[in-house]
Amino acid sequence: MSEKKQRLEIVTPQRKVFSEDVKFLVAPGTEGELGILPEHAPLITSLNIGIMRVQQDSDFIKVFISGGFMEVRNSKVTILAPSAERAEEIDVARAERAKQRAEDRLAAKHADLDVMRAELALKRALLRLRAVNG
Ligand code: ATP
């Protein structure tokens, strides 16, 4: 693979989660997975809750993102996400608790349940756990 690099920045309202040069990345676009190499054509797309795979040297690292937007321009990839964590930053016990809470809400089916909100919380928790456990 080419030795060319592109800058990847992942930003949330709270912090800059990632700001490094990378060789290749795969992002969960709402229209499907998107693989981005340096010098990719300019692009703006929305993102799903999912796991980014980022190649720096030979290894890939995983970064959870809870949706958002991606801009690609001049070998710079900017991701704006409501929340994001590198796999090693994920608090597994917290994600397990979030998963349990969402599952309990969906199972109890109270009249005032916001189903979509509970389903999105469950999806975030499951994908955080997948980012850690592979
Ligand atoms: P929770 O119910 O546990 O807050 P959530 O999916 O509702 O989970 P988000 O709204 O996506 O949480 O994120 C809120 C903030 O908490 C963000 O800064 C996010 O990075 C952080 N966060 C949420 N869950 C975890 C986790 N399991 N490990 C580390 N950081 C987390």
User: Which tokens sit at 82?
Assistant: 């409501």
User: Which tokens sit at 130?
Assistant: 């997948």
Name the region of 25 (left: φ>0; alpha: ψ -120 to 50; beta: rest): beta
* pLDDT surpassing 70 at residue 1: no
128 CA distance to ligand 1 middle (Å): 9
Closest CA to 70 of 122, 18, 121, 106: 18
Q: How confident is the model at residue 3 (pLDDT cuts 50, 70, 90)?
A: confident
**Which domains does the chain show, CATH number per domain?**
6-87 (2.60.15.10), 91-133 (1.20.5.440)
Q: How confident is the model at residue 11 (pLDDT cuts 50, 70, 90)?
A: very high
Across 6-22, average pLDDT: 98
68 CA distance to ligand 1 middle (Å): 15
Nearest CA to ligand 1 atom 16: 83
pLDDT digits (tens, 9 = 90+) for 88-134: 999 999 999 999 999 999 999 899 999 999 999 999 999 999 999 97
33 SS3 class: strand
Any ligand 1 atom below 6 A from CB of 122? no
Strands 6-11 and 24-29: unpaired
The pTM score is 0.95
Any ligand 1 atom below 6 A from CB of 121? yes
Nearest CA to ligand 1 atom 14: 83
Return the pLDDT at 2. Answer: 57
Please give the Cα distance from 53 to 126 (Å, whole number).
Answer: 17
pLDDT digits (tens, 9 = 90+) for 40-84: 999 999 999 999 999 998 899 999 999 999 999 999 999 999 999
Query: Alpha carbon of 86 to those of 15, 66, 91, 127, 131: distances in Å?
Result: 12, 12, 11, 12, 8
Return the pLDDT at 47. Answer: 98
